Structure 1
Amino acid sequence: MDTKQRILNQALKAFNKSGYGAVNLFELAKSLEMSRGNMTYHFKDKEALLKELIDQLWEKLTSGRVAKSIPSFQNLHHDAQLYYRLQQEYTFIFHDNQVLMHPLIAKKMKSLCEKTIKDIETAIAFSIQLGNMKVEPAPGVYKNLAITSWMMMFFWRSHQMVKQDKTKEDGEKVIWSLLLPHLTEKGLASFKKFFGEDYLTNMGEAFDENMDSYLTF
């Protein structure tokens, strides 16, 4: 591993642990057992490190997405998993509003989010044409479904952080829970074929319909 990549790896580790704003170059150089001057020879300041890490993330996001090519739920499944992996790898970017709103990434992230929502809408339209999804039950339902599905991809790790949820479960089952009621019999058969019967029977904890469980006096 060359020095530049070693610095980037250590910076990513430090940013993920403490947050971008809390890390200074002197401490980062010390953790690498090098002088600050030696480190700034490769990256003149912290923003240069941020730019390089954002470029890395963006390359992985743009080259890894497949839903843009064929609008299928299988490809959206692939892209959802890509989101979750990269959020785990670049936690500090997705959890810090100051980083998300940084000029280096704000426009890119906005464009990506809009494109992802459009990809989900296209996949829904494609599924309706194939007979895998029912027609929209009321105006706005499927657009709202696309937005909510995107939110389950983009904000799932933040939701886990707020809840202090230490499990490795991702939010994809929540997405499918929202989509399942809108599948036709044909669509449900395709779902089972792709994910397997076990996936359908392990969507999560069964809902308790007993009102006594919720009412307290």
Structure 2
Amino acid sequence: MKSTKEKILDNSRHLFNEQSYSSVTIRMIAKSLKMSSGNLNYHFKKREEILEALYFEMTKEFDYRLLNFPKMEVSINQIKIEIKLTMKRMIDYQFFWTDLFNIINLNDNIKTHFHKIYDARFESYIFLFTQLKKNKLMKVSILDWECQNLAEQMIVYSNTWLYSTVLYGGRINESIIEKKANTLLSILYPYLTVKGKKEFYKIIDSNKR
């Protein structure tokens, strides 16, 4: 059975996803749980505390996967799997990614951690490219600055795909996740070897069947 605190976080997340963080008040959260604002305030003194708790709840999985990234099997298919897992996790906390700039500037702890994650993600991509080269899936002739630009492009797309989908009225479903994951993966395509491109097409073609 979930604790009261967990119920507050779950309901808050659903309300934030439906109406946006800025539109939801403590009173609205309390009403959705059929509790008094005073009872809710016992667990969270203000709405920003709920926001921070949800952020770190979301990133707990991201942090774990970044920590274990060096142990990951490196293949085009595994990269696609990791991309889709990340996208699905982002959808669970959609409110954060569709109002990213404003939310990270509301809370110093969130902002500091988000920037720290950026650095870790960047280094993970550089490590990934090195492993892809070793596995003859990525061209060894790619220069360091090209790898750095590529890592930044992939991070930027990862951060904004959900916002752009919602902005243009797209429906969030399995089909759109597949499409956006393929788009992110395709950023790698020009840098892949013949072997890497064959694996890429094998994955893309299998999804069309």
Tell me which interval the TM-score lies in, with the shorter structure as reference length: 0.7 to 0.9
Aligned-pair Cα RMSD in Å: 2.4
Q: Is 1:118 matched with 2:123?
A: yes
Offset of residue 78 of structure 1: 3.6
Is residue 91 from structure 1 mapped to residue 94 from structure 2 by the alignment?
A: yes
Q: Provide the aligned length of Structure 1 versus Structure 2.
A: 199
Change (3 A) 1:181 1:40: same
Equivalent residues of 2:137, 2:193 under 8 A apart: yes
Instruction: Give, in whole Å, the separation in 2 of the partners of 1:123 and 1:5.
Output: 36
Task: Could you tell me which runs of 5 or more consecutive residues in structure 2 were left unpaired when the two chains were aligned.
Answer: none
Deviation of the 1:103 alpha carbon: 0.8
Identity of aligned residues (%): 22
Output the CA distance in 1 between the equivalents of 2:121 and 2:47.
Answer: 30
* 8 Å contact from structure 1 (residues 152, 172) kept in 2: no
Amino acid corresponding to residue 53 of structure 2 in structure 1: E
Q: Normalization by structure 2: what TM-score? A: 0.82
SS at match of 1:44: coil
Structure 1 residue ranges without an equivalent (≥5): 203-217
Q: How does 1:137-216 map to 2 (within 5 A)?
A: 140-168=145-173, 169-170=176-177, 171-191=180-200, 195=203, 197-199=205-207, 202=208
The alpha-carbon distance between structure 1 residues 19 and 48, as it changes in their structure 2 partners (threshold 3 A), is same
Q: Distance in 1 between matches of 2:31 and 2:129?
A: 51
The answer to whether the 8 A contact 2:136-2:195 is kept is yes
Contact 2:80 2:182 in 1 (8 A): no
**SS at 2:170's partner residue?**
coil
Q: Which has the higher helix share?
A: 2
Give secondary structure in 2 for the equivalent of 1:105.
Answer: helix
SS across alignment from 2:34: coil
Q: Is the 8 A contact 1:132 1:187 kept in 2?
A: yes
CA contact (8 A) 2:182 2:204 kept: no
Which structure has the greater CA radius of gyration? 1
Q: Whole-Å Cα distance in 2 between the matches of residues 41 and 6 of structure 1?
A: 14
The CA deviation string for residues 115-168 of structure 1, in whole angstroms up to 9 with x for no partner, is: 212212221122223222123456733322221112222211011122222253
Please state how far the C-alpha of 1:104 moved relative to its aligned partner. Answer: 2.3
Residue 71 (structure 2) aligns with: 69
